[in-house]
């Protein structure tokens, strides 16, 4: 069904650009850029990923065609909601000269600002066009959501879950070096904490008892990065100050003596 909807009238609408070596890898890179912009925005950057006549198919709604229509739809959602994580897993890429289809699954953790987020997931098919500037842009995108998991199954355990930093000091967390978010993983074996601070990898011990959580000395690699150093300092300070934790569904709160030091989302 997904293929039939996308392939209907799917002939080239513009002259095909010259062959693009490594096109499948470039399409996969465009998918990763799409995921990143969904989280960090702004909505006009998302709309710019579409061709001028690109179409966004949303179940239960009329298709949205054109960048302005897509922007008008996304802007109020962006202002009232937060996307904590977005991940598209590409299973297959088929390239046809200046056009391509990517098939896969998506998983997003999002919700209204100030409320507990929810997990959204399903299948996704994207038709891509390579335009005159060499960039691959979305001609059509169609998602097929799967039913949400029961609430009791959506809460992630503190240990064994990889957490992505979304908020630090009451503000949305910036990306670190290489456009990567800071992460944290607590391993039951040996009670070891590890992750990416924004520039360097780190590791150290931790102690946990009920809702009490204290990190021991943290060791980091010694790289210097053009970006991510300030984020790393903030994240390291939040870990050092953490005394308690609270997991609400897919969100982890690290709490210090004053309140929420950092928020992280399950990956």
Which of 202, 198, 193 is CA-nearest to residue 242? 193
Task: Please state, rounded to an integer, the average pLDDT across all residues of the chain.
Answer: 87
**CA dist 195 → 184, 220, 222, 236 (Å):** 4, 10, 14, 11
d(CA 133, CA 16): 13
What is the per-residue pLDDT for 179? 87
> What does DSSP assign to residue 226?
S
Q: To which H or E segment does residue 57 belong?
A: strand 50-57
0.85 cut: is pTM over it? Answer: no
Question: To the nearest whole percent, how much of the chain has pLDDT over 70?
Answer: 90
**The two structure tokens encoding residue 26:** 């470039």
In this predicted structure, the answer to whether residue 43 has a pLDDT above a threshold of 90 is no
Catalogue all structural domains in the chain, each as residue range(s) with its CATH number.
Answer: 2-151 (3.10.450.50), 155-266 (2.40.128.270)
DSSP helix/strand/coil, 223: coil
166-212 per-position pLDDT tens digit: 999 888 899 999 889 999 999 988 899 999 999 999 999 999 998 99
User: Which residues, in sequence order, are bridge partners of residue 252?
Assistant: 247, 264
pLDDT band at 9 (very low <50, low <70, confident <90, very high): very low
In this predicted structure, the answer to whether residue 213 has a pLDDT above a threshold of 70 is yes
Question: For the chain, how many helices (H) and strands (E)?
Answer: 6, 15
Quick check: 224 and 232 in contact, CB under 8 A? no
What is the per-residue pLDDT for 149? 52
d(CA 192, CA 205): 5
Q: Which residue has 């503000």 as its token pair?
A: 171
49-91 per-position pLDDT tens digit: 999 999 999 888 899 999 999 999 989 888 888 888 889 999 9
d(CA 193, CA 76): 38
User: Which residues, in sequence order, are bridge partners of residue 196?
Assistant: 201
């Amino acid at each position: 069904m997904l293929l039939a909807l996308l392939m209907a009238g799917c002939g080239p609408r513009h002259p095909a650009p010259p062959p693009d070596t490594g096109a499948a890898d470039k399409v996969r890179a465009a998918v990763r850029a799409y995921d990143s912009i969904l989280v960090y925005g702004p909505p006009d950057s998302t709309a710019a990923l579409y061709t001028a006549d690109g179409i966004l198919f949303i179940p239960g709604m009329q298709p949205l065609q054109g960048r302005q229509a897509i922007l008008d739809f996304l802007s109020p959602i962006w202002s009232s909601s937060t996307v904590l994580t977005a991940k598209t897993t590409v299973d297959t890429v088929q390239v046809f000269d200046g056009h391509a289809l990517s098939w896969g699954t998506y998983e997003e953790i999002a919700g209204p600002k100030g409320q507990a987020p929810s997990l959204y997931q399903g299948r996704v098919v994207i038709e891509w066009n390579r335009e005159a500037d060499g960039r691959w842009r979305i001609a059509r995108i169609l998602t097929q959501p799967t039913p949400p998991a029961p609430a009791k199954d959506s809460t992630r355990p503190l240990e064994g879950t990889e957490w992505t930093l979304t908020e630090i000091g009451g503000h949305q967390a910036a990306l670190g070096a290489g456009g990567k978010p800071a992460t944290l993983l607590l391993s039951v074996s040996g009670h070891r904490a590890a992750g990416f601070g924004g520039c360097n990898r780190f590791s150290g011990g931790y102690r946990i008892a009920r809702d009490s959580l204290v990190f021991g000395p943290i060791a980091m690699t010694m790289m210097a990065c053009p970006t991510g150093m300030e984020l790393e300092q903030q994240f390291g300070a939040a870990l050092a100050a953490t005394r308690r934790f609270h997991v609400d569904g897919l969100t982890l709160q690290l709490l210090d003596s004053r309140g929420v030091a950092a928020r992280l989302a399950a990956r």
